[in-house]
């Protein structure tokens, strides 16, 4: 161990640690979850420190030699991040606003930059935890969403492809979990694809607001201790580093008080998760069986389904999907509570917001390609099962309304349900309609709308 000092006094720090006293205090104060910041969040922080140093050099606030040493330290961390990742040791549950994490990054950079570079005076120059953390939350989310969007598109395309494959598979529709007029399996899957397309579009729209940054507001949005033009220069540098279309906020106070853009993204992500949960539940229901469920679709087998029942195969990929979607929905609720807990000039609950948002995006983007490859693309239709359900469904009587009226059609439906006789057979046996009329009424186009 070695002795480090901060404004509270001396602290023992591990010899091999690149961080200092303030980080060590946080390690001792918050031994909570063992969870650490998302690596992209840490890298975003380092990019912010690099941009701040360059801006301070350009605006004459920092000597070039000192600023260059900070930039070099940031470059070393970014270029060899896996080597240094273990130095960022703050638990995701920590002191309010993220001061502990900010100082962890400041201290590591100062250590690598060399003698004479101070974590507060130099690495943190023209900054505050209060403007750096909300800026990092926004940029990190944009970077992670950039990886998520193509995977959502792949899911939607996979559903679209199944829609085409199953376009001719007529099946019983169901409303209220009761038999309803027929649809095609393709129509169901195309609707799933459209839902993913639309929910992704809404998420993209929400993400646009994340581009507006409050960096340069420092402690309360007044820009205290920053050189003129600093916030615009930092945003310009961050645009160059990230390739994102970032903008400086018009009102720095609002950008630091409010997490509205972050909550909008979280809400859009929750809405996506709710829709994906609905679709996932549908697929599990359609695949239920193989003998005592609906069994209209067959899922690819990815692993044995039971430790005791031989031959059992479960919808394992969909079950996993449900679990991570439930987490995303719960995380959005945590973010909701955190966002309304902001007070006056600052929301101190930002560490929780950062973790929950980043983790939600991460688990979804990681699992979607596996779900598409090992589940969605391999779904098969049990055509005979689908046909047997729809042809024997009393709901086919709905097609008779224009020809024999609702009341008489209802009698036919009841008799069909009671006797288990398909509607076309009853009509033929009772002489209500001719074979030609039956053939004309009960066509795929009439049954499912032909689209």
pLDDT in tens, 371-384: 999 999 999 999 99
Rounded Cα–Cα distance for residues 358 and 101 (Å): 15
- Of the listed ranges 68-72, 224-228, 295-299, 400-404, the least confidently predicted one is 400-404
Higher-pLDDT residue of 81 and 426 is 81
Global pTM value: 0.94
Rounded Cα–Cα distance for residues 225 and 218 (Å): 8
Angle between helices 185-207 and 260-286 (to 10 degrees): 170
Compute the mean pLDDT over every residue in the chain, rounded to the nearest whole number: 95
Q: Write out the residue limits of the CATH 1.20.200.10 domain(s) in the chain.
A: 132-214+253-383
Q: Provide the CB-side half-sphere exposure for 309 (13 A, CA).
A: 5
- For 1-55, write each residue's pLDDT tens digit: 999 999 999 999 999 999 999 999 999 999 999 999 999 999 999 999 999 999 9
Q: What is the mean pLDDT of residues 278-284?
A: 98
Q: What is the mean pLDDT of residues 168-188?
A: 94
Task: Count other C-beta atoms under 10 Å from residue 434's C-beta.
Answer: 11
- CATH architecture label of 2-125: Orthogonal Bundle (1.10)
At 306 the pLDDT is: 84
Q: Is the pLDDT of residue 287 over 80?
A: yes
Q: Are strands 2-6 and 9-13 parallel, antiparallel or unpaired?
A: antiparallel
Four-way CATH pick for 132-214+253-383: 3.40.50.1220, 3.40.50.150, 1.20.200.10, 3.40.50.10860: 1.20.200.10
> Which residue in the list 69, 100, 258, 306 is annotated as catalytic?
306
> Where does 287-315 have alpha helices with state H?
none
| Cα separation values, 433 from 407, 437, 440, Å | 16, 6, 11
At 125 the pLDDT is: 98
- Of the chain, the percentage scoring pLDDT greater than 90 comes to 85
What band does 450 get if pLDDT is binned at 50, 70 and 90?
low
Q: Evaluate the CA torsion angle 221, 224, 228, 232 in order and state its sign.
A: negative
What band does 451 get if pLDDT is binned at 50, 70 and 90?
low
Kindly state the tokens that stand for 143. Answer: 């970077």
Domain range 392-448, CATH class = mainly alpha
- For 116-126, write each residue's pLDDT tens digit: 999 999 999 99
What band does 442 get if pLDDT is binned at 50, 70 and 90?
confident
Q: Write out the residue limits of the CATH 1.10.275.10 domain(s) in the chain.
A: 2-125
Decide: residue 124, CB within 10 A, 0-12 exposed, 13-18 middle, 19+ buried.
Answer: buried
Decide: residue 60, CB within 10 A, 0-12 exposed, 13-18 middle, 19+ buried.
Answer: exposed
Q: Catalytic site residue 100?
A: no
Q: Write out the residue limits of the CATH 1.10.40.30 domain(s) in the chain.
A: 392-448
At 443 the pLDDT is: 83
Q: Is the pLDDT of residue 145 over 90?
A: yes
């Amino acid at each position: 161990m070695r002795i480090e000092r901060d404004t509270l006094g001396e602290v023992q720090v591990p010899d091999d640690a690149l961080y200092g006293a303030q980080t060590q205090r946080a390690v001792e104060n918050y031994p909570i979850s063992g969870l650490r910041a998302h690596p992209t969040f840490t890298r975003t922080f380092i990019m912010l420190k690099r941009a701040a140093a360059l801006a301070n050099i350009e605006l004459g606030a920092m000597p070039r030699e000192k600023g260059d040493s900070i930039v070099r330290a940031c470059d070393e961390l970014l270029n060899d991040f896996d080597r240094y990742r273990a130095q960022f040791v703050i638990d995701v549950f920590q002191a309010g606003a993220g001061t502990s994490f900010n100082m962890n990054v400041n201290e590591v950079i100062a250590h690598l930059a060399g003698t004479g570079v101070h974590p507060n005076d130099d690495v943190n120059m023209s900054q505050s935890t209060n403007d750096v953390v909300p800026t990092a939350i926004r940029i990190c989310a944009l970077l992670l969403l950039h990886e998520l969007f193509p995977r959502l598109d792949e899911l939607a395309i996979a559903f679209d492809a199944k829609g085409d494959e199953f376009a001719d598979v007529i099946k019983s529709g169901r409303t209220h979990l009761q038999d309803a007029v027929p649809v095609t399996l393709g129509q169901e899957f195309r609707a799933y694809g459209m839902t993913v397309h639309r929910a992704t579009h809404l998420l993209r729209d929400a993400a646009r607001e994340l581009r507006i940054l409050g960096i340069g507001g420092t402690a309360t949005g007044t820009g205290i201790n920053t050189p003129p033009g600093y916030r615009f220069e930092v945003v310009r540098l961050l645009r160059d580093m990230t390739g994102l279309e970032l903008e400086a906020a018009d009102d720095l106070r609002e950008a630091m008080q409010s997490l509205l853009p972050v909550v909008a993204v979280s809400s859009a992500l929750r809405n996506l998760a709710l829709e994906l949960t609905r679709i996932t539940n549908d697929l599990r229901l359609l695949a239920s069986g193989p003998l005592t469920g609906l069994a209209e679709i067959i899922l690819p087998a990815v692993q044995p389904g039971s430790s005791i029942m031989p031959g059992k195969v479960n919808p394992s990929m969909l079950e996993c999907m449900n679990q991570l979607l439930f987490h995303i929905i719960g995380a959005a609720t945590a973010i909701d509570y955190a966002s309304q807990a902001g007070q006056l000039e600052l929301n101190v609950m930002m560490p929780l917001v950062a973790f929950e948002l980043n983790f939600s995006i991460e688990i979804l983007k990681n699992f979607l390609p596996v779900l598409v490859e090992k589940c969605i693309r391999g779904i098969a239709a049990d055509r005979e099962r689908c046909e047997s359900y729809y042809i024997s469904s009393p709901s086919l009587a709905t097609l008779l309304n224009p020809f024999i009226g609702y009341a008489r059609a209802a009698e036919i439906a009841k008799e069909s349900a009671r006797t288990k006789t398909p509607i076309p057979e009853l009509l033929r046996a009772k002489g209500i309609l001719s074979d030609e009329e039956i053939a004309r009424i009960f066509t795929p186009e009439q049954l499912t709308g032909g689209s």
